[in-house]
Structure 1
Amino acid sequence: AYLIYTSGSTGTPKGVLVPHRGITRLVLNNGYADFNAADRVAFASNPAFDASTMDVWGALLNGGQVQVIDHSTLLDPAAFGRALHGATVLFVTTALFNQYVQMIPEALAGLRILLCGGERADPAAFRSLLAQAPGLRLVHCYGPTETTTYATTYEVQAIAADADSVAVGRPISNTQIHVLDAYLQPLPVGVIGEICIGGDGVAKGYLNRPELTAEKFVDDPFNPGALMYRTGDV
């Protein structure tokens, strides 16, 4: 496993013990992005941020190249757009995505795959970019660090004029999503419940935090012997 820190919604850093199989399921036969040897994946994420695992291993485990982006350019859209020249794949946070769509849509249009996530999405930003970059594969991602970066993805091909949200999509490969009640029982479609995540991306727990680990990482009732992560999201 490797150790990566996240503060989540609490603001208190927690060390997450992530199994290596979580990365392989993220970047190989993943069901959402066909990374290949011709790709140049932009390494634009902070190395301490879980999305950096996709930036690095999405390229290297598929025979591609990592295109390292100077972090000083991230808040300078024009410089960032120039730095993206030659890249084919990029992940950015939702906040940066919204800014780049307004400032450098032509640079984003030069990518093959653009992924974004981390906050509630603005449908207008997606709609705007799709209109300017019809050939771009635009993927909206959801997932906590505790389940190895992405748990679900949605390839956005169109956004309705009256949409007030962007779907988070379906589970990526070797990942299971459940909507459960307080007793970890499945709920009917349309009923609000907690999102719980199972599969190969689930971490082993938190470093030196046994009580929190026991609270958030529970025995998976749908897969004996495995763990399921309780996200707290509804």
Structure 2
Amino acid sequence: AALSDLCREEAHTPFDLSRGPLMRARLIRLADEEHVFLLTQQHIVSDGWSMGVLMRELNSLYRAFVAGQDDPLPPLAIQYPDYAAWQRQWLSGERLQTQAQYWRNALSGAPARLALPTDRPRPAQQSFAGAGVPVVIDAALTRGLKRLASQHGTTVFMTVLAAWAAVLSRLSGQDDVVIGVPSANRGRREIEELIGFFVNTLALRVDLSGAPSLAQLLERTRRTALAAQEHQDLPFEQVVEIVKPPRALDHTPLFQVMLAWQNNTVGSLDLPGL
């Protein structure tokens, strides 16, 4: 019971963004040979990809230190502030204009909201309360999706995105659907091993007008996804400022539905003696 209270207290203790630190570690000893290690990070310094880096490095460091060896990790070529300075310099001038113009054109006239048939009115202000409903795609259906994607020159992600757009179109009666997609935004080799917040959000607008065939919908979705990835460097909040969609407290701007494709493996701790 005491451990449960400590875990709850740790998870709910806020971070001071103006002072830091933005990561906390806590070791709780239950007995001579039994401990619980809590590691809490503010999301602003660590994204999903970072968790895989963290797990690999914890494994390497623990194994080395248990064996009395030195730090085995190679020195980082760059740090997060280097990336932030580079991004600010790189995303300027003509590059900034090109990216801004793409999103202005891509999202011009997009519907402000997805009109899903809900069983109660949307609250005047979002509460962010939610729940989960697990749906499992079995092995046979997965093989079918991979085969379909291969036949049409798409990835499985694009295929699932097209299907999700079709479902949302049927439910809403809209043939113009915008879906948010998180992007790892780690397009350069130098930043793959950094722990930090690189992730961005892309607003993908899928055109379902004219009752397209499956092949046509997959091709439209493929073009949309590739174009968005080519222009993924512009932060989402800047895209919102550029597009200037209608704003209200009861829904998020540009999209209210997301598809998070999480195919990066976080891994697990494999520590000798534990």
Question: Do they fold alike, i.e. is TM over 0.5?
Answer: no
TM-score computed with the length of structure 1 as normaliser: 0.26
Which is helix-richer, 1 or 2? 2
Which is strand-richer, 1 or 2? 1
The higher radius of gyration belongs to 2
Greater relative contact order structure (CA < 8 Å, 6+ sep): 2
